[in-house]
């Protein structure tokens, strides 16, 4: 009884807090000084048609580095916690065969999903999207393959190689921005090109390629680890 009463008080308190925030909320009609600078100067400074990309990759590049690092640590922790010995991996439970519809759909859709993911992170400086979104789409293709073939084993060596190369390249480009440009991940280390075209915004397309590959590899690693945990005999 006391436990239920405490839970009720907590729920009521949270409801009161959110109600106060909802009733007192007032949207800003004008941009603040930082937002106004981004809106007026991002196209000239960065050369990216997507303003969000300009902010995330260049003006706040260190934040992006932190986000990628957090995702890497998450994948590493999950792999460490769900680490298996060789004898454990040999003891797999029996799984029901997947349907022909799922198998056929996987063969057709997987290449398309991969291409969409690549398109998203290669055009992140032009259209909504970027490295994180494109990497997540690529990882969804890996998830679809595991659903169709639960016994499929993901090569952690390949994933680790892609992840390492992408991460090191990302940091190297960031360091070049400090050495050659005006700061970490400064995209002006390369020509800004023609505004609105694929080869524009300086180094941003290359940065997003490495971010997309790294995020895709890390999420695929998480998915593969959970798949192995599901197949393990308890």
Q: What is the pLDDT of residue 121?
A: 92
Quick: pLDDT tens for 31-74.
888 888 888 888 888 999 998 888 888 888 888 888 888 888 88
Task: Please say if the pLDDT value at position 93 is more than 60.
Answer: no
Query: Structural domain of residue 186, as residue ranges?
Result: 2-231
Quick: pLDDT tens for 141-181.
999 998 888 778 778 788 889 988 998 999 899 899 888 88
Task: Output the CA torsion sign for 142, 145, 150, 156.
Answer: negative
Quick: pLDDT tens for 95-123.
667 788 888 889 999 999 999 999 999 99
Quick: pLDDT tens for 125-141.
999 888 999 999 999 99
Q: What is the pLDDT of residue 91?
A: 54
Q: What is the pLDDT of residue 213?
A: 92
Concatenating the DSSP letter of every residue in the chain gives -HHHHHHHHHHHHHHHHHHHHHHH----SS--HHHHHHHHHHHHHT--S-HHHIIIIIITHHHHHHHHHHHHHHHHHHHHHT---HHHHT-BPP-PPPPHHHHHHHHHHHHHHHHHHHHHHHSTTTSS--HHHHHHHHHHHHHHHHHH-TT----HHHHHHHHHHHHHHHHHHHHHHHHTSSSTT-GGGS--BSTTSSSBSTTHHHHHHHHHHHHHHHHHHHHHHHHHHHHB--
pTM recorded for the entire structure: 0.78
Identify the band that residue 206 occupies on the pLDDT scale cut at 50, 70 and 90. very high
What is the tally of structural domains in the chain?
1
């Amino acid at each position: 009884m006391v436990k239920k009463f405490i839970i009720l008080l907590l729920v009521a308190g949270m409801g009161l807090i959110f109600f106060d925030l909802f009733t007192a909320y007032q949207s800003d009609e004008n941009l603040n000084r930082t937002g106004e600078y981004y809106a007026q100067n991002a196209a000239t400074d960065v050369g990216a048609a997507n303003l969000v990309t300009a902010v995330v990759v260049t003006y706040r590049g260190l934040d992006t580095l932190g986000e990628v690092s957090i995702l890497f640590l998450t994948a590493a922790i999950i792999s460490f916690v769900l680490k298996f010995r060789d004898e454990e991996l040999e003891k797999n439970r029996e799984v029901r065969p997947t349907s022909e519809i799922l198998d056929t759909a996987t063969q057709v859709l997987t290449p398309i999903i991969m291409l969409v993911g690549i398109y998203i992170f290669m055009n992140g400086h032009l259209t909504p999207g970027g490295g994180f979104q494109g990497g997540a789409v690529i990882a969804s293709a890996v998830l679809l393959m595991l659903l169709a073939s639960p016994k499929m084993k993901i090569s952690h060596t390949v994933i680790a190689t892609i992840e390492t190369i992408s991460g090191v390249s990302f940091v190297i480009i960031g360091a070049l921005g400090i050495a050659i440009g005006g700061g970490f991940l400064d995209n002006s280390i390369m020509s800004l090109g023609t505004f609105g075209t694929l080869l524009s915004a300086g180094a941003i397309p290359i940065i997003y390629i490495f971010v997309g590959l790294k995020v895709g590899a890390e999420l695929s690693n998480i998915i593969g680890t959970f798949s192995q945990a599901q197949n393990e005999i308890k």
